[in-house]
Amino acid sequence: MMRSGNFILVLFLSLLFACSDGKTHFEGKILGYNGEICGFFFMNPGGEPFEIQFPVNEDGTFDAELDFAQSEYDARLFIDKFMFCTSIEKGTKHVAEFDIREEGVETNFKFTGNMAEENAFTCDFWNNFGFPYSFFEKANNVGSFETYSGYIKGLADGYRKTMSATGNKPFINFYEAKLVERELIYNYLYPYLYLRDNGVVPTDAAYDQFIAENKLAEYSDEEFTAIMSMLISCVATMDVDMLQMMKIAEKTTANVDWNSYLMTSLLMNRLKLMGPNGLDEAYKYYRSVVTNENYYNQIAADYEAASKLAIGAPAPEIEFVDANGKKFSLADLKGRALYIDFWASWCGPCREEIPHLAKLVEEVGNNDPDILCVSISIDDSEVPWKKLIEKDKPAWPQYLATEAGQKSISEDYQISGIPRFILIDKSGKIITVNAPRPSQLDKASLKALLK
Which CATH number is 387's domain given? Answer: 3.40.30.10
* Whether residues 153 and 290 fall in one domain: yes
| 175 and 144 in a common domain | yes
Q: Tell me if 111 is assigned to some domain.
A: yes
Domain extent at residue 221: 133-309
For residues 356 and 218, membership in a common domain is answered with: no
Is 15 part of a structural domain of the chain?
no
* pLDDT value for 105: 54
C-alpha to C-alpha distance for 70 and 276, rounded to whole angstroms: 46
Residue 6 belongs to some domain of the structure: no
Judgement on whether residues 137 and 222 belong to the same structural domain of the protein: yes
- 313-342 residue pLDDT tens: 899 999 999 999 999 999 999 889 999 999
Say if residue 26 is in the same domain as residue 87.
yes
Long-range contacts made by residues 169-178, C-beta under 8 angstroms, separation at least 24?
170/71, 170/73, 171/73, 171/87, 171/118, 174/73, 174/74, 175/73, 175/121, 175/125, 178/125, 178/130
Q: At which of 130, 146, 163 does a domain end?
A: 130
Average predicted confidence (pLDDT) for the chain = 85
Domain tally for the chain?
A: 3
Nearest to 304 by CA among 276, 332, 282: 276
- Residue 114 vs residue 41, higher pLDDT: 114
Residues 298 and 183 in one domain: yes
Same domain as 290, residue 171: yes
Residue that finishes a domain, picked among 259, 290, 309: 309
CB 300 within 8 A of CB 335: no
Q: What is the pLDDT of residues 252-304, one digit of tens each?
A: 877 888 888 889 988 888 887 777 778 889 989 998 999 888 888 888 888 88
Q: At what angle do helices 280-289 and 293-306 cross, to 10 degrees?
A: 170
Alpha-carbon distance of 392 to 66, in angstroms, equals: 34
Length of the chain: 451
For residues 101 and 188, state if they share a domain.
no
Domain ends where: 130, 155, 186?
130
Q: pLDDT digits over 421-432, tens only?
A: 999 999 999 998
Q: Could you tell me what percent of the chain has a pLDDT over 90?
A: 42
**pLDDT single digits (tens) 350-398:** 888 898 999 999 998 878 888 999 999 999 888 889 988 888 889 999 9
Together in a domain, 41 and 115: yes
pLDDT value of residue 7:
38
Q: Do 139 and 286 share a structural domain? A: yes
In a domain, 314, yes or no: no
What average pLDDT score do residues 35-41 get?
Answer: 87
Asked, for residue 198, whether it belongs to a domain, the answer is yes
